[in-house]
Amino acid sequence: MKGNVIKYERDNIDTDVIIPGTYLKIHDYNELSKHAMEGLDPEFHSKVNEGDFLLAGKNFGCGSSREHAPIALSTCGIKAVLAVSFARIFYRNSVDGAFLLPIEIDEKTYQTISNNDELEINIEKNEIKNISKNETYAIKPFSEIIAKIISAGGLFKYKK
């Protein structure tokens, strides 16, 4: 997986910021994607190129259970969110619905990666290559169940 980074130096990016409550009535994925990250960056959807990665700090996706959040991000083109930690419902929605990969990195990696850096992510090797900076970082490995659901392509394709 190769793409460029859109970085927000912020902890606790919550679901009200990722997709504001007024859009919860909308279930058209393309329409939702136009409002992704609207609470923080109204231009977000026009900045994203297919395959990009979003980078943020701690507790990404805290707040509500709205699946609209990973849907809006993935429909924009975001393939993975890299964060120091994730809130639980956002995390499992991303994986179970196969919308995007929630990838946990350490604080130092978060600090080191810059906006617009080009990354290559390899989840088999638990590794991120920073092509722009010629550096390599470790990913916190997925737990067994999460790895299996990801490789199946979502919860409905996962066989117990």
Partner 1 sequence: MNITEKILARASGRSSVSPDDVIFANVDKVMIHDVSGPGVIKVFDKLKDQGIDTSKLHDSSKVWVAEDHFVPTAEKISAENIVKLSEFTKKYGIKKHFKYGMGQYGICHTLSHEEALVSPGEVYVGGDSHTNTTGGLGAFACGLGHTDVAYVLLNGEIWFKVPETFYFKLNGKLPEHVMAKDFILKIIGDIGTDGGAYNTMQFGGSGIDEMSVESRLTLTNMTTEAGAKNGIIEADEKTIEYLHQRGATNINQIKSDEDAEYAKFFEYEASEIEPIVAKPFSPDNITEVRDVSSIELDKAYIGSCTGAKYEDLLAAAKILKGKQVKIRTEVLPAAISIYKRAMQEGLLQIFIDAGAMVGPPTCGACCGAHMGVLAKDEICISTTNRNFPGRMGHIDSQTYLASPLVAAASAVTGKITDPRDLN
Tell me how far, at minimum, the Cβ of 80 lies from partner 1, in Å: 18
Q: Which is nearer to partner 1, 2 or 148 (CB)?
A: 148
Tell me how far, at minimum, the Cβ of 10 lies from partner 1, in Å: 11
Tell me how far, at minimum, the Cβ of 11 lies from partner 1, in Å: 9
Tell me how far, at minimum, the Cβ of 99 lies from partner 1, in Å: 9
Q: Which is nearer to partner 1, 3 or 70 (CB)?
A: 70
Positions that interact with partner 1 (CB under 8 A): 12, 14, 16-17, 20-22, 24-27, 39-40, 58-59, 62-68, 85, 87-89, 92-93, 96-97, 143-145, 154-156, 160
Question: HEC states along the chain?
Answer: CEEEEEECCCCCCEHHHHCCHHHCCCCCHHHHHCCCCCCCCCCHHHHCCCCCEEEECCCECECCCCCHHHHHHHHHCCCEEEECCECHHHHHHHHHCCCCEEEECCHHHHHHCCCCCEEEEECCCCEEEECCCCEEEECCCCCHHHHHHHHHCCHHHCCC
Q: Which is nearer to partner 1, 99 or 137 (CB)?
A: 99
